[in-house]
Amino acid sequence: MGVLVGAGLYSGQDMLQYFLSFGKIGIFGVVLLGVLNIIFGRIIVTLGSHYQSSNHQDVLEQITHPVINRIIDITLVISCFVVGFVMVAGAGANLHQQFGIASWLGALVCSLAVILVSFMDFEKITRILGIFTPVIVVMILSLAVYTFWGKSYDYEYLDMVAGSMEPTMPNVWLSVINYFALCAMNGVSMAFVLGGSVIRSGDAEKGGALGGTIIGLIVTCAAATLFSNLDKVKDAEIPMLLIVNNIHPGFAMVDEGNFP
């Protein structure tokens, strides 16, 4: 969960660009994305447990041709490297929007933090993810409850607002495939290793399915929250932070601390 729920989702930009720019049908795309993540989590973590993998190569060598294995390995490295820049840029934009700090300075602070964490062993890294992930889940669920509790919205109007946005993909179904591929590329290496730390494949299967289910839930909650505030956040660099600030600036400070 900590790997897949990255800065793109937590900032809200991914949901806006990939799904909500298509209007109400984008919500259905998000739900489909959640289903795919459940299936993905279950299969990948179980494979890692079955082969007791310590890295993604332990599994890929068993289930793919050597040529395909090499292609996937190179693709994984490149995609994670590129997405790293997205995360750093998101952290810089977040600090700039909330505190007026120069984006380059915020990005530098995040980069230094990433370098520091990268020198830790796997157990310590998963422990850090384990600290922040529950907070992220609670934050997003709290935003959803606040957004919908006792309130109503003009979804036809919001659908018209979405029509003024420029979609990233030609249609929402291609967005689902593309975004799911992005999630898979970012999460498969860690999921294999996490699965390898579990002895019983049955436990890994349940854990992968549960993680995928929670991801699907919070992705859907985040998308619904953003869509309900689309007229206010469609031009914001960090849409989620804007929504949180509108609730209470103190709440935004907690949100700020978990973003990078």
Q: Per-residue pLDDT tens for 39-96?
A: 888 888 898 888 888 888 888 888 888 898 888 888 888 887 887 787 787 777 777 7
State the pLDDT at residue 259.
46
Rounded to 10 deg, the angle between the 249-258 and 66-99 helix axes is 150
Residue 237 lies in a domain: yes
Query: What is the distance between the alpha carbons of residues 67 and 163, in angstroms, rounded to a whole number?
Result: 44
Mean pLDDT lowest for which of 188-192, 215-219, 241-245? Answer: 241-245
For 214, residues 6+ apart whose C-beta sits below 8 A from its C-beta are 1, 137
Query: What is the distance between the alpha carbons of residues 179 and 57, in angstroms, rounded to a whole number?
Result: 23
Specify the 3-state DSSP secondary structure of 1. coil
- The pLDDT-based confidence of 10 (bands split at 50, 70, 90) is low
Structure tokens belonging to residue 64: 């793919």
**pTM of the entire predicted model:** 0.79
State the pLDDT at residue 151.
83
Query: What is the distance between the alpha carbons of residues 143 and 8, in angstroms, rounded to a whole number?
Result: 17
State the pLDDT at residue 249.
55
State the pLDDT at residue 122.
67
Query: What is the distance between the alpha carbons of residues 230 and 228, in angstroms, rounded to a whole number?
Result: 6
Q: Where are the alpha helices (DSSP H) in 55-200?
A: 56-63, 66-99, 103-118, 122-148, 155-163, 172-196
Decide if pLDDT at 32 tops 90.
yes
Structure tokens belonging to residue 66: 């050597």
State the pLDDT at residue 174.
93
Sign of the alpha-carbon dihedral angle for 124, 258, 89, 31: positive
State the pLDDT at residue 251.
52
Query: What is the distance between the alpha carbons of residues 171 and 26, in angstroms, rounded to a whole number?
Result: 9
The whole domain housing 183 covers 7-258
For 153, residues 6+ apart whose C-beta sits below 8 A from its C-beta are 228
Amino acid of residue 23: G
Residue 2 lies in a domain: no
Structure tokens belonging to residue 75: 């693709």
User: How many domains is the chain partitioned into structurally?
Assistant: 1
For 142-185, how does the pLDDT look when each residue is reduced to its tens digit (9 = 90+)? 888 888 888 888 888 999 988 888 888 889 999 999 988 888 88
For 181, residues 6+ apart whose C-beta sits below 8 A from its C-beta are none
State the pLDDT at residue 175.
92
State the pLDDT at residue 30.
92
- Tell me the pLDDT of the chain averaged across its residues: 81
Decide if pLDDT at 17 tops 60.
yes
Decide if pLDDT at 216 tops 70.
yes
State the pLDDT at residue 258.
46
Select the more confidently predicted residue: 250 or 171: 171
Structure tokens belonging to residue 48: 């890692």
Percentage of residues in the chain with pLDDT exceeding 90?
A: 9
For 100-142, how does the pLDDT look when each residue is reduced to its tens digit (9 = 90+)? 778 888 888 888 888 887 787 767 777 776 777 777 788 888 8
Q: What is the mean pLDDT of residues 221-227?
A: 90
Structure tokens belonging to residue 200: 């019983």
Which residue shows structure tokens 């809200």?
12
- The pLDDT-based confidence of 98 (bands split at 50, 70, 90) is low
Query: What is the distance between the alpha carbons of residues 163 and 167, in angstroms, rounded to a whole number?
Result: 9
Residue 1 lies in a domain: no
For 249, residues 6+ apart whose C-beta sits below 8 A from its C-beta are none
